[in-house]
Amino acid sequence: MWQPVLMINGFIVFILGALMLVPAAALKYYTGSFDAFFIRSAVFSMFIGGMLFLANYGKIKKISILQGYLITVSCWFLCPFFCALPFYGNGDILQFSDALFEATSGLTTTGSTILSNIEAQPKSVLLWRALLHGVSGVGIVIFAVALMPFLGIGGTYIFNKENSDTEEKFLPKMHYIAKDIIITYIVLNIICIVLLKHAGMNWFDAVCHALATLSTGGLSTKNNSIAYFDSVTIETIIAAFMLLGSLPMTYFILIAKRHNLASVFGNQQVNTFLKFIFGYILIVSIFHAYEADIPFWTSFRYAAFNMISAVSTTGFSSCDFIQWGPWVVCVFLTLFMTGGCTGSTAGSVKIFRWQVIFAFFKKSATNSLSPNQVTVMKAGGKVIDDQVVSSVFVMMVGFVLAIVLFTLIISMTGVDFVTALGAVTGNIANAGLGLTEATGPSGNFAGFTPFVKYLLAFIMVLGRLEVIAVFVLLHKIRIM
């Protein structure tokens, strides 16, 4: 049972180890000397990963559901430890809890950081954070599915656990889907890099921010995030690509194959998402302009960027929106809990699940008034059955219970309740920001104890796996 689990984990660790050589080479280019932390970590990771892969190599016709869960969950908990190695002792990251927190934040595209002076860090550290975003934007496991067809392993279960968007049945095999997604993802990143360079960034900043944008990651190379550049053009480009990252990746493939923009804009989930975020932006822009006595377009500029960043769970900021007033906590908490579309790089609950919940409430209300009426539930333009509704409600209950449980645990360590709630919600939703000054756009997570940092790292992975995958695996193992 463990052969495919260890083999795929070994393969992924080996690839991550090889990727560590890129930041080492980048530092050589900029300073003339290699980064020994990355070279040592690369050699160690490639050795361990290679040994795991070769020791368990073999043709496997298919994998079971349990093996699919094991592969997905184990790789997301194993890889951050290897990715943390080049961080440990490098720059200002002197504790392993900090290194693991930063690596997990990068891999899960959360965007939280413990670094107080980001600009003082070696370029190798900054590039590694961005590369972690780039690699995991479409999922580490999807890379394995796409790059390992020669092993004969069916990737269906892995893909379904990693990417909840399964409606594009026109593509014949899972590794073809993964390849198309990866190609689309790379092309969009290249376009974003070129646009940011022409908007005023240097090549290094353009690469790092593009990788952090489309992946909806949010780790910047600047202390003040996007506010550092103070450029409407840069904010517009990044906001646009954060929105693209919030849409299903498979729909870009549909556009390319069918040459029809209606494939995206005719989709109810996408339409609902776009209407939701732009409606919220308009309301908040008007309210903030009136309350702060500033021009509407100035308010719209900052509201649009930061709210798109929040709903896409990216974590970039162009201003300290916590200073707008207490009401902003409710607004951004709502955005954190909403998320993008299913099949996107965004985290959190996702729009489609909210559509399912509202469709269920609508059906319940209708049946209360007309018990004999046959009501068909529809969400996102699709008929949904009771099994889908049950899975959505189970996920939501798990999500909320996890927030309550971990908020209470962190509060017991001495952290005030609102800060604890914001930290847990922001990290389980992979949004990267908290709801107070300590963890908001002007703050970071450096002030927490090592225990809380380890716990938040676990919460990031829990959110990335949408909670239930971990609970299902733990329950399955318990009853075996």
Q: What is the DSSP string of 197-245?
A: HHHT--HHHHHHHHHHHHTT----SSTTGGGGT--HHHHHHHHHHHHHH
- Please state the domain extents for the chain: 1-162, 167-348
pLDDT in tens, 89-103: 998 899 999 999 999
> pLDDT-based confidence at 142, cuts 50/70/90?
low
| Eight-state DSSP code of residue 95 | S
pLDDT, mean of residues 218-243: 94
Half-sphere exposure of 134 (CA within 13 A, CB side): 23
Which residues are within 8 A (CB) of 190 and not within 5 positions of it... i.e. 6 or more apart? none
* Among 97, 338, 110, 328, residue whose Cα is nearest residue 216: 110
Comparing 175-184, 290-299, 436-445, the range with the smallest average pLDDT is 175-184
> Where does residue 39 fall: left (phi above 0), alpha (psi -120 to 50 degrees), or beta otherwise?
alpha
pLDDT, mean of residues 66-76: 80
Distances in Å between the Cα of 30 and the Cα atoms of 25, 115, 131, 208 are 9, 21, 17, 15
d(CA 388, CA 152): 30
| Eight-state DSSP code of residue 378 | E
Which residues are within 8 A (CB) of 13 and not within 5 positions of it... i.e. 6 or more apart? 45, 48, 49, 52, 78, 79, 82
Q: What is the pTM of this model?
A: 0.89
Is residue 174 scored above 60 in pLDDT?
no
Q: What is the pLDDT of residue 149?
A: 45
Comparing 82-86, 108-112, 314-318, 348-352, the range with the smallest average pLDDT is 348-352
pLDDT in tens, 9-19: 899 999 999 99
